[in-house]
Amino acid sequence: MQKFKCDCCGLCCRHIDRSPLSKDLDSGDGVCKFLDTEKNLCKIYKNRPDFCNVEVGYKKYFSKLYTEEEYLNLNYESCRKLKLEHQKEKVSAPYLYQAAQTPSTETIQGPTACKG
């Protein structure tokens, strides 16, 4: 599989209640209990759940449902929608707006915030 390109905005880790796979990580407000919200980094990155890693999660959960290309595109589409949502919420969520507007050039594996 092509390496998934993540800009480490962390928005997916702040909305884990949207997926049945990850909702058990919810700290109560949709934010993952393993996200360092100040640094915007995953505190358990090396041991994060399989569904937090695009390549591993694909093999484990989705390979019978989608081609690799379809699955990558679905993930990119989810990222795009999250970023758009938070652009619209920039007044009430300035931190998230800033995160969505300042992508780094770093590319990592996983649908998630980068390692802490």
Instruction: List contacts with ligand SF4 (CB under 6 A).
Output: 6-13, 16, 22, 25, 32, 34-35, 42, 44, 48-49, 52, 79, 82, 111-113
Q: Minimum distance between the CB of residue 17 and ligand SF4, rounded to whole angstroms? A: 11
By beta-carbon proximity to ligand SF4, the closer residue of 32 and 72 is 32
Pairing mode of beta strands 35-36, 41-42 = antiparallel
Instruction: Indicate the DSSP class of residue 110.
Output: S
Nearest distance from C-beta of residue 11 to ligand SF4, angstroms: 4
> 33-58 burial by CB neighbour count: b if 16+ within 10 A, else e?
ebbeeeebbbeebeebbebbbbbbbb
Q: How far is the CB of 72 from ligand SF4 (least distance, A)?
A: 11
- Residue 75: enclosing H or E segment and its boundaries? helix 68-88
Q: Which is nearer to ligand SF4, 71 or 111 (CB)?
A: 111
